[in-house]
Amino acid sequence: MQLIVNGKSVHVKTDGAKPLLSVLRDELGLRGTRFGCGTEQCGACMVLIDGEPAFSCARELASLAGKAVTTVEGLTQNGAPHPLQQAFVEEQAGQCGYCLTGIVMGAAALLARNPSPTEAEIRSELDTHLCRCGAYDRILRAIRRASEMIGQGAGKRGG
């Protein structure tokens, strides 16, 4: 079947019952998306499907024909990091880092629909994600920082 991954059309010949996460990591070599719980509880596997945040660990490939999937690798454009990627590095917003790609994807969807979220809106987005290291304060700072960067014109996409 055909799907669009990070802006490119890809043909995947696998069993439609396979989870999207396995296809991304094992067949397409996109290892930024992580396996955590496998039961849609932790957020480590979050990607965007048609721009909306979605868990990929239990999402069957067969449900995705013609859909556009964005992974953390797809946030970087023309070699430039997304403001969230830059802010997470600048704030050192993580400890082990395992949860971070899922959180960055959820935050990317949040900032795309609302570039200036309130503290409560950011916390509500983070409710979907489990950070076992408890790095939430740094993560909050990074999302706020990315929001400010976007407000100053960073991360504008061409085309």
CB of 47 to ligand FES, least distance (A): 10
- Which ranges of 26-113 does DSSP label H, i.e. alpha helix? 83-90, 100-113
CB of 35 to ligand FES, least distance (A): 5
Q: Is there binding between residue 53 and ligand FES (CB under 6 A)? A: no
Q: Is there binding between residue 44 and ligand FES (CB under 6 A)? A: yes
Structure tokens at 62: 């067969």
Total binding residues toward ligand FES, as defined by CB under 6 A: 22
Of the candidate residues 99, 111, 126, 143, the single one contacting ligand FES (CB under 6 A): 99
The residue among 35 and 154 lying less far from ligand FES, judged by its C-beta, is: 35
Of the candidate residues 124, 132, 137, 151, the single one contacting ligand FES (CB under 6 A): 132
Of the candidate residues 23, 24, 28, 42, the single one contacting ligand FES (CB under 6 A): 42
Of the candidate residues 37, 68, 140, 154, the single one contacting ligand FES (CB under 6 A): 37
Q: What is the rounded CA–CA span in Å between residue 105 and residue 112?
A: 11
Residue 56: φ, ψ to 5°: -105, -10
Structure tokens at 56: 């990929």
Structure tokens at 47: 């990607």
CA-based nearest residue to 109, from 96, 98, 124, 125:
125
Query: 3-class DSSP state for residue 48?
Result: strand
Which span (23-31, 97-105, 109-117, 143-151) binds ligand FES, by CB under 6 A? 97-105
DSSP helix, strand, coil percent of the chain (3-state; round to 5): 40, 15, 45
What residues make contact with ligand FES under the rule CB under 6 A? 35-38, 40-45, 55, 57, 94-99, 131-133, 135
